[in-house]
Amino acid sequence: MALWAYNFDRMRPIEVVLPACLSIFGTLIVLLVVRLVSRSWLKAGLLTTLVVLLFFTYGHVFGMVNNLPGIGGQVGRHRFLGSLWFAILIVGGFLILKFAKKARDLPFLLNCTGLALVVMSGGQLLNAQYQQAVVALDRNVVSLQDKNAFDPARISDKKDLPDVYLIVLDGYPRHDALLRHLKYDNTPFLNTLTSLGFVIPTCNMSNYDNTVFSMSSTLNLHYLEDYYPNLDPQATHVDYARLTNLIRHSLVRRNLTDLGYKTISFETEYDWVEIPDANIIYTINSKWTGIQDLLAITDFDTALSSTSALRLLTNAGEVSPWLKKQTDEVYDWIDETIKKITLRGPGRYQKKYLQIMMALDNLESIPAVPGPKFVYLHLSAPHPKTVLGPNGEFEPEKDQPVFLDSFIYLDKRVPEILQKIINNSNVPPVIILQGDHGMNLFRDAQLDNFIAYYLPGAAKDLVYPSITPVNTFRLIFNAYFDGRYELLKDASYLSGEEHPLDFQLVPSNCPK
């Protein structure tokens, strides 16, 4: 409950159901086994409490110790801390079995403590739900508008407004970063885009190094500091509910809606970059979706693994090669067993694959939808874990760090779709094709994102080499909708690892 409350605005309730059930079931099994061996409910309850406490605190303590300055690298090792935890279990178990009769009042104290913790976590969950509901209803959160910068009344003729496409290829990097780190030359892709009429800046960078910051800024034409005047660089938690609302009810969307635009969105791997209340939203409509969401590996499972004793298994290679081998075999067996009995229907990565292909298939038909349209597609590719083969087949990445097949397919398929959009649009469309950030696999390439603009008419001459996404829609509103936005100074920030709001300014760079 505490873990859910802390991550409430990033995880759906259904993600918590299975881990909670397994935790309760596992605790019950331990209780019954110890009761059978000790023949005492008192001993069984105390020993089970010790096991549960050690299990759910291990990852937290490991993370704290590992981050201690100076000694964390030496002390924060699984071999040391795991041995210590095992010793505590053995010594504690011995003391409980030998002296439990002298601690008959202890269960009452533990029950009161447990109840108090449940009430506290429950209160945190209720407060998180309330805060999320308040933010969702607060559409004024996106009301930050430069004075007189945009006025729909200034556009007298609204008949020939261009469709506006924002197509985000998650994690697609700039040409030089791709060549430098993955030895992949996407020059043919860039040349094809150029032949279609796209302008590709050469020194551009993203404003932020992760999706939720980057898209919040891009879609609202401002840096995050403008929305967080009291931004605390030492904060360890990010208000994801507020950022999600900034994405879903952005200034770009509001401006275009005021002009009569329909909003079109797509189901994707992460629902916080979707626009669920769009006029049209494309989904995979899988009959297995509900079951898959319940049983698939989720972000909550990952968080639980990193904060509990399961961290020993997820980092098995640091403990011993033998344990890693055994763990991998168990995981493979579980995965194959689930596939055989088809409980999950499409697994997490099959679902991601279906979402990507569904989006690409529907994107090319959007010009047929009547009226002006704002189309926002956040494609969860080529971001790892990758699921695309070079010809669009399902090819899930496992442990291989190179994921070139996704680039090969996207570099071929995306220009074909863009060509159809351009050809089939009655009014030449505005198209932004970009990565939301660079490659998170490499620290020095996290901000080197790809971006390309299809801007009919003279507007393409306004694109300059070092443009960043915060100015993208400022330029577009000025060029096509009589906007009067001043271009902001282009800046790019890396987030702190422990303090995500501790933004570090990174100088602009150009390919050498």
Residues (pLDDT < 50) of the chain are 140, 287-289, 291, 338, 340-345, 399-401
Q: Can you count the helices (H) and strands (E) in the chain?
A: 20, 8
Q: Per the structure block, which two tokens stand in for 400?
A: 């291989």
Q: What is the pLDDT of residue 142?
A: 53
Q: What is the pLDDT of residue 307?
A: 84
pTM for the model stands at 0.76
CATH number of 138-152+164-296+344-506: 3.40.720.10
pLDDT in tens, 399-438: 444 578 999 999 999 999 999 999 999 999 999 999 999 9
Long-range contacts made by residues 250-254, C-beta under 8 angstroms, separation at least 24? 250/142, 250/216, 250/219, 250/220, 251/142, 251/144, 251/145, 251/219, 251/220, 251/221, 251/222, 252/166, 252/219, 252/220, 252/221, 252/374, 252/473, 253/219, 253/374, 253/376, 254/142
Q: Where are the domains of the chain?
A: 2-132, 138-152+164-296+344-506
Determine which helix (DSSP H) or strand (DSSP E) holds 318, and give its type and residue range.
helix 316-319
- Scanning the structure block, which residue is given the tokens 């331990």? 30
Q: Which residues have a Cβ under 8 Å from the Cβ of 409 and sit 6 or more positions away?
A: 388, 389, 390, 391, 392
Q: What is the pLDDT of residue 326?
A: 67
Do you know the residue count of the chain? 512
Greatest CA separation for the chain: 87
How far is Cα 402 from Cα 432, in angstroms, rounded to an integer?
Answer: 26
DSSP label of 497:
S
Classify 262 as helix, strand or coil: strand
- Scanning the structure block, which residue is given the tokens 């570090």? 504
Sign for the CA dihedral angle at 117, 118, 123, 129 comes to positive
Q: What is the pLDDT of residue 332?
A: 62
DSSP string spanning 6-61? HTGGGS-THHHHHHHHHHHHHHHHHHHHHHHHH--HHHHHHHHHHHHHHHHHHHHH
Q: What is the pLDDT of residue 342?
A: 39
How far is Cα 473 from Cα 453, in angstroms, rounded to an integer?
Answer: 11
